[in-house]
Structures are given as C-alpha cells and as structure tokens.
Amino acid sequence: MLANGRASRWGLRTFALGYLAMLLLIPLGMIFYRAFEHGVGAAFDSVTTPDALHAFYLTIVVTVIAVPFNTVFGVGCALLLVRTNFRGKALINAIIDLPFAISPVVIGLSLLLVYSETGWFGDWLNANGIQVIFALPGIVLATIFVTLPFVVREVVPVLHEIGDEQEQAAQTLGANWWQTFWRITLPAIRWGVGYGVVIGTARALGEFGAVAVVSGRIAGQTQTATIWISEAFSRYDYTGAYFGAVVLAVLAVAALLAMNVFKRKEAA
C-alpha cells in the first residue's frame, strides 16, 4: 500500500537498489578490477607463489576435514533433538547456538587456553607429542567451532516438518534403525543437509578471526587462504590480495547459487 503511489514505489526501489549497489555490488565489482588492473599475468603470478598455493591448499584440507565432522554431528544431533526426549535438551539447543554469539577472536582464545602448550591439556598433549595450536588440528578445531550450528539448524526444522509417520511405518514393517535412517529419513532431509553443508563449507573456507589466533600465521605452514590474503595486503602486494579475494568471492557466489538450488528443491 505504502508503495502504491508511483513516486513512493520508485523512491523505495531506488533506495534499496542504491544501498545494495554502494555497499555490496559496486565494491564487489571493484575487487575484480583491482585484481586485473596490472594484467592477468601479474595477477596470476601473485597467487602462484609457493606460500599462496600452500595457503589455498591448507584451506581446502581444513574444510574437507571440518565439514564432514559437523555434517555427521549435525544430522545425529538434530535426530536426537527432534526424535527423542531427554533432560538437558534445552541446554544442548542453547550450546549449539553459542558460536553465533561469540566473536571469532574469542573462539580462538578459548581454544588456545585448552589446547596450547600452557593450556589445560598442554602437559598431556606435550607428553604425547601432539601439537594442536599453531598446527593443523588447531585450525580444524577453530573451523569446526565456528561452523558447528549450520547443519543442525537446517536439519531440525525439516525433521519437524516431515514428521515421523513414515519412520514409524518402516519400523513396524521390520526395518532396523539404520535402514529407517538410510531409506526414509535421509532422503527426506537431503536438501536441508545439503543447504547446511554448503553454507558451512562457505564459512569454513572463509574463516579468519579464530584461525588467525590459533594458527600462528606462519607463511607456507599454517597460513590459510584468508590469512594469506590479509598478510599480502599488509606487505603491499595488492594484486595478490585482490586476486586471492576474487578467488574466494567466486567460491562464495558458487555457494550462494547452490544454496538457492537447495532451497528451491526443499520447497518443492
């Protein structure tokens, strides 16, 4: 109604488009320009240095470990929350949302205080020759912490929606719980799981604050892609920083497209 007047409709549309353009779209377009300002060759050279390649490789390794962990946990935890009753359910629900309320830097510090050499488990980890902080396990832990809620939060509403009648029927007909899960539940929740996995993957690829604290940021060793980008910027390698940002932005847009497909499949 408000926008029924032609003038106000145009006014609101112009404001919305202008806001999104100035904050999001034009700046995003600019990183492409900045990355290739000095030619494609220069851009390519800047991100094919050993340190840069290692950083992107490490990011992929971390994501490939962290996302499956949270996917298995997320589906199992959602089943427990929706299909069973137990004391402390509300508490588990609250804990799952905690990563949304905590600064990534604080997440990093918290992990440091438990798993570093001087942390709670420091002596035990040292005695067993396990290095967590300033090494791969620490980066993985930080990434898992940050992306913990995504799969659970996508699957819980889907489980509520599909109900458990088909599962009951399968069990009445003699299916064991694995058959019930594999044949009935998982096909019904697959788009929800897919959505959670994609947004979790996007976040894992892009995590910065928590990883910056626990990784030690050693070039060629514990630098992830995002940390390499920020360090490149700090040493005035703008072409490298912008091109690295372009690579991650393209991945984010791909994730966004996948999310839209999953959302539509889920609605269908």
Partner 1 sequence: MSSAVTGTSGAAPPRPAYWPRPGGAALGRGLVTAYLSIIVLLPIAALIAQSTDGGWSAFWSAISSPEAVYSLKLTLIASLIVVAINVFAGTIIAWVLVRDNFPGKSALNAVIDLPFALPTVVAGITLLALYGPSSPIGVHAAFTKAAVVMALAFVTLPFVVRAVQPVLMELDTEMEEAAASLGAGPFTTFRRIILPSLLPAILAGSALAFARAIGEFGSLVLFSGLIAFKTEVMSGLIFQQIGNGNETGAAAQSVVLLAIALVVLLVFGRLTKWSLRHAG
Q: Does 156 bind partner 1 (CB under 8 A)?
A: no
Number of alpha carbons in the 13 Å side-chain half-sphere of residue 142 = 37
Sign of CA dihedral 57, 205, 221, 43: positive
Counting contacts by CB under 8 A, is residue 113 touching partner 1?
yes
Cβ closer to partner 1: 57 or 120? 120
For the bound state, the minimum distance from the C-beta of residue 221 to partner 1, rounded and expressed in Å, comes to 18
Under rule CB under 8 A, residue 182 binds partner 1:
no
| 1 or 127: CB nearest partner 1 | 1
CB of 64 or CB of 95, closer to partner 1: 95
Segment 259-267 long-range contacts (CB within 8 Å, at least 24 positions apart): 259/195, 259/198, 259/199, 262/191, 262/192, 262/194, 262/195, 262/198, 263/191, 263/195, 265/191, 265/194, 266/158, 266/191, 266/192, 266/195
Give residue 23's Cα distance to chain centre.
Answer: 22
- Tell me the CA end-to-end span of the chain in Å, nearest whole number: 30
Residues 46-105 that bind partner 1 (CB under 8 A): 73, 76-77, 79-80, 83-84, 86, 92, 95-96, 98-105
**Which stretch in 39-47, 49-57, 128-136, 254-262 sits in contact with partner 1 by CB under 8 A?**
254-262
Nearer to partner 1, 22 or 53 (CB): 22
CA distance 189 to 266: 8
Asked whether 196 and 73 are in contact (CB, 8 A), the reply is no
| Binding residue for partner 1, selected from 53, 64, 106, 186, defined by CB under 8 A | 106
Residues 6+ apart with CB under 8 A from 82: 156, 159, 160
What are 35's two structure tokens? 């990355």
Burial class (CB in 10 A: 0-12, 13-18, 19+), 43: buried
Please, which residue, 21 or 40, has the CB nearer to partner 1?
21
Site string for partner 1, 230-249 (x = CB under 8 A): x--xx------xx--x--xx
Check binding of 112 to partner 1 (CB under 8 A). yes
Q: List the one residue from 136, 208, 220, 266 that touches partner 1 (CB under 8 A).
A: 208
- Give the separation between CA 257 and CA 252, rounded to whole angstroms: 9
Residue 141 CB, shortest distance to partner 1, in Å, is 7
Interface with partner 1 (CB under 8 A), residue total 93
What is the smallest separation between the CB atom of 76 and partner 1, expressed in angstroms? 6
Interface with partner 1, residue 109, by CB under 8 A = yes
Q: Which of residues 158-177 bind partner 1 (CB under 8 A)?
A: 164, 167-168, 170-171, 177
Figure out which of the listed residues 157, 220, 252, 266 binds partner 1, where binding follows CB under 8 A.
252
